[in-house]
């Protein structure tokens, strides 16, 4: 992704491996500061996933792959490292996919750094293909809505939902993006808007509760990412996705889910079987160190919701755009 720094424009990734360490953007500090942190123990890498230093399903997967790489280089028990890494967050399928992939590669004697780098690069290539397939869905003059951050930060580079948006921009189209703020962690406001800004893409941040208002006024397409897609096409994504999908159907707006095949979980039959992560009350009741709710009022904080397949117009994958009933074709 292109970022503007004091020393000019730079091309960086969300996570990579350098000098024996996993280096990543600390996404909790954006958009205020672009700060990089690095770890040389797999336990700390798992913690960086849990505390959302890095986040977004494909970036979580790549980070986990690098964590497994560190475990292998340090001669740690790989089964234990896999267990610790997989326990960092429950919903994103890519986390489990990446750890199993690394266990398999390492069991074949493949060099840990080569295997993890190849995994991260494959994510970037898949996202580039998602952009190629999804870009043509965005026409000149379109109003595009997205939710949370399914951009380069969430996917090592390029993005899933933001890949077609980046491609449409590269192709010279003029369009406008609504980025919903995404309470409580504000990935839409702080990360998607930051990426769109860096790329000079015309956009506005909207409050989560205003989606219905803008969809009725005239959104042409909604594109979101996914954390896990069940075998029947039901999918989990950031809390707030479900109501956008229902509203899209009500107002005849095409609703697309952009995700690599690593996000599909064919062992989970339906969305009801997807484990939804519940995070701390403080993410809802506090902003930074300041409490914004009455003491004594509890808060509920499901990080994701489940959208049934019937609301999905298509899944934009690295293998093409698939209707929900077609996804079994890409089972690996």
Q: By CB under 6 A, is residue 225 in contact with ligand MRU?
A: yes
- Minimum Å gap between C-beta 103 and ligand MRU is 22
Helices 93-107/78-86 angle, 10° precision: 170
Cis preceding linkage at 118, omega within 30: no
Of 94, 157, 208, 227, catalytic = 227
Q: By CB under 6 A, is residue 13 in contact with ligand MRU?
A: no
Beta strand spans in the chain (E)? 2-5, 8-11, 15-18, 21-25, 36-39, 143-147, 176-180, 203-206, 221-224, 228-230, 235-238, 255-258, 264-265, 286-287, 290-291, 304-307, 314-317, 320-322
200: Cβ contacts below 8 Å, ≥ 6 apart: 169
Q: Is 227 a catalytic residue?
A: yes
Q: By CB under 6 A, is residue 129 in contact with ligand MRU?
A: no
Please state, in angstroms and rounded to a whole number, the distance separating the CA atoms of residues 193 and 187. 9
- Minimum Å gap between C-beta 154 and ligand MRU is 4
Q: By CB under 6 A, is residue 112 in contact with ligand MRU?
A: no
- Minimum Å gap between C-beta 29 and ligand MRU is 15
Which residues from 30-89 bind ligand MRU, rule CB under 6 A?
Answer: 55-58
Q: By CB under 6 A, is residue 238 in contact with ligand MRU?
A: yes
Counting residues that bind ligand MRU (by CB under 6 A) gives: 17
Residue recorded with tokens 């497994």: 68
- Residue (22 or 306) nearer to ligand MRU, CB: 306
State which of residues 150, 201, 222, 257 lies at the interface with ligand MRU (CB under 6 A). 150
Between the CA of residue 177 and those of 146, 206, 225, 254, 268, what are the distances in Å?
Answer: 7, 10, 15, 15, 33
Please state, in angstroms and rounded to a whole number, the distance separating the CA atoms of residues 235 and 34. 31
State which of residues 63, 160, 211, 232 lies at the interface with ligand MRU (CB under 6 A). 160
Segment near ligand MRU (CB under 6 A), from 66-74, 114-122, 219-227, 286-294? 219-227
By beta-carbon distance, which residue lies closest to ligand MRU?
225
**Residue 73 DSSP SS3:** helix
The residues that touch ligand MRU, with contacts defined as CB under 6 A, are: 55-58, 92, 148, 150, 154-155, 160, 187, 225-227, 237-238, 303
């Amino acid at each position: 992704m292109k970022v503007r720094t004091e020393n000019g424009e730079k091309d960086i990734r969300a996570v990579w491996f350098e000098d024996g360490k996993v280096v990543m953007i600390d996404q909790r500090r954006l958009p205020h500061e672009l700060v990089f942190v690095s770890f040389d123990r797999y336990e700390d890498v798992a913690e960086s996933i849990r505390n959302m230093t890095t986040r977004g399903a494909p970036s979580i997967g790549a980070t986990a792959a690098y964590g497994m790489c560190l475990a292998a280089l340090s001669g740690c028990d790989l089964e234990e490292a896999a267990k610790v890494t997989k326990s960092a967050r429950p919903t994103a399928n890519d986390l489990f996919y990446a750890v199993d992939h690394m266990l398999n590669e390492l069991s074949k004697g493949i060099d840990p750094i080569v295997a993890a780098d190849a995994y991260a690069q494959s994510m970037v290539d898949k996202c580039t293909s998602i952009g190629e397939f999804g870009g043509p869905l965005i026409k000149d003059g379109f109003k595009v809505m997205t939710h949370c951050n399914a951009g380069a930060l969430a996917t090592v580079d390029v993005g899933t939902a933001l890949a077609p948006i980046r491609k449409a921009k590269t192709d010279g189209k003029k369009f406008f993006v609504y980025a919903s703020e995404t309470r409580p962690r504000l990935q839409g406001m702080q990360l998607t808007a930051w990426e769109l800004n860096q790329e000079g893409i015309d956009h506005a941040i909207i409050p989560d509760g205003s989606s219905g208002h803008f969809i009725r006024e005239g959104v042409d397409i909604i594109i979101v990412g996914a954390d896990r897609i069940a075998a029947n096409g039901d999918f989990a994504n950031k809390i707030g996705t479900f109501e956008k999908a229902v509203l899209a159907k009500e107002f005849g707006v095409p609703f697309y889910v952009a995700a690599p095949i690593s996000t599909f979980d064919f062992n989970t039959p339906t969305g009801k079987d997807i484990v939804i992560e519940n995070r701390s009350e403080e993410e809802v009741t506090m902003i930074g160190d300041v409490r914004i709710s009455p003491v004594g009022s509890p808060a509920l904080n499901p990080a994701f919701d489940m959208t049934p397949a019937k609301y999905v117009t298509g899944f934009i994958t690295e293998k093409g755009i698939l209707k929900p009933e077609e996804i079994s074709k890409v089972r690996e």
